[in-house]
Amino acid sequence: MADAATLPSIAEHGATRLPSVEVDSYNIELKDEDGFIGDRARKGAFREILDEWRKPLRKSGDDPFGDVPSEEIPRKTLDEVLTKGEPEAAGLVQSAIEDFSKNLAQVIRRYLKSKAWQDTEKIAIGGGFRSSRVGEVVIGRTLVLLKAEKISIDLEPIHHDPDEAGLIGCGHLAPNWMFKAHDAILAVDIGGTNIRAGVVELNLKKSRTLSKAEVWKFDLWRHADEAKISREKAVGRLVDMLEDLIGKAKKAGIKLAPFIGIGCPGLITKEGAIERGAQNLPGNWESSKFHLPSEIHKAIPKIGDDETAIVMHNDAVVQGLSEVPYMTDHKHWGVLTIGTGLGNARFTNRKDD
């Protein structure tokens, strides 16, 4: 870990104090007698619920999805069945939505009872599940269930496309005055299924709050589709993606800041190691001998003429940070990301110093 101390430092990895917010908590793991609470509201849990509803229909030969395993039904197909399908098929999907919404409402109730989430006023729901119509209906139904219980909370889908929110949030990992002489930054979103790398145009002249930030280009690699991918190969693939984006930005005349922001699953130490929570990534990312910022810095020591600075934080935190411009009317707010697991983070807006 000695290399970590030699990297240019513009912000602490996994910091609790960021330019716009205090990170009150993230990656909390609540348990009850049945295991981790969050597992009931992960993306895979919806497919498991759908499968349970399909079982009696299979026995009678009336399953509208035939022999296709529930986990292999495309999101687009579920959306089309929900909105335009035959009544029985739409009812099947709606039944799964209802049960999953009850699970999500239960999870949210438990989070709100925890000390770290007390006084939360609003929660943004992100992750890949949110990008479907089924996911949006789940969010709406969950909000109705919570309001029926007189729980004072507001829910809304995260504003940006989830594929882009985890990249745009990287712009909030460092003070934006550091980027004034530049057009864009490199951003990385590492998940249990995909790794994304992108160029985020900050558009600071249009808005200092990064409300006009947008992804110029991004590359996606589905590492979950490949068998026995080593950590070293995964890092190498990520470096290739970043180097390709650097070349494309240069060709397009986009001036990149010498900065790479990274969102990664798990508990991130201030040195930039991953303490726990990275079990879905290829290889052992929780090894005390592994330091992702150092590995990337070795491969990309400079961007332009300046030494590369790298800041890493939890992926749910980073995705939540994309909501900063839209949460100015709320002091305490949070984010839940429904993906391979259920990511979570709670924030308190900082007053201007």
Please tell me the predicted confidence (pLDDT) of residue 8.
54
> Rounded distance, CA 260 to CA 311, Å?
7
Closest CA to 345 of 263, 273, 236, 230: 263
Whether 129 shows a pLDDT value over 60: the answer reads: yes
> Residue 155: beta bridge partners?
123
Which has the higher per-residue pLDDT, 3 or 228? 228
pLDDT of residue 175: 86
Say what percent of the chain tops pLDDT 70: 97
Of the segments 27-41, 215-229, 310-324, which one has the largest average pLDDT value?
310-324
pTM to 2 decimal places: 0.92
Residue 302 has pLDDT above 50, yes or no: yes
Q: How much is the pLDDT for 263?
A: 96
Cα-to-chain-centroid distance, residue 169: 9
Query: Quick one: CA torsion of 76, 79, 80, 81, rounded to 10 degrees?
Result: 120
**What pLDDT is stored for residue 178 in this prediction?**
83
193 has pLDDT over 50 = yes
Q: Is 50 exceeded by the pLDDT of residue 235?
A: yes
Which string of DSSP letters, residue by residue, matches 19-74? SSEEEEEES---EETTEEGGGGGSHHHHHHHHHHHHHHHHHTT--TTTT--GGGS-
Percent of the chain residues past pLDDT 90, beyond the cut: 75
Question: Residues 342-348: what's their mean pLDDT?
Answer: 95
Of the pLDDT bands very low, low, confident and very high (cuts 50, 70, 90), residue 340 is: confident
The CA R_g of the chain, rounded to the nearest whole Å, is 21
Q: Between 115 and 289, where is the model more confident?
A: 115
Q: Which pLDDT score, from 0 to 100, does residue 1 have?
A: 46
In this prediction, residue 352 has a pLDDT band, given cuts at 50, 70 and 90, of low
Read off the pLDDT band of 277 (50, 70, 90). Answer: confident
Domain ranges in the chain?
2-16+163-323, 31-157
Q: 351 pLDDT exceeds 80?
A: no
3-state secondary structure of 267: strand
**Is residue 5 scored above 70 in pLDDT?**
no
pLDDT at 38: 82
Question: Side chain identity at 298, as an amino acid letter?
Answer: K
Q: Six-digit token pair at 31?
A: 């348990």
Quick one: pLDDT at residue 7? 55
pLDDT band at 35 (very low <50, low <70, confident <90, very high): confident
Burial class (CB in 10 A: 0-12, 13-18, 19+), 276: exposed
Q: How confident is the model at residue 269 (pLDDT cuts 50, 70, 90)?
A: very high
DSSP string, 118-175: TT--EEEEESGGGGSHHHHHHHHHHHHHHHHTT---EEEE-SS-HHHHHHHGGGGSS-
**Amino acid letter at 211?**
S
Class of domain 2-16+163-323: alpha beta
CA distance 70 to 48: 7
Say whether pLDDT at 2 is over 50: no
pLDDT at position 176 is 80
Strands 122-126 and 332-338: parallel
Whether 264 and 254 have beta carbons less than 8 Å apart is answered as no
Rounded CA-CA distance 9/331 in Å is 29
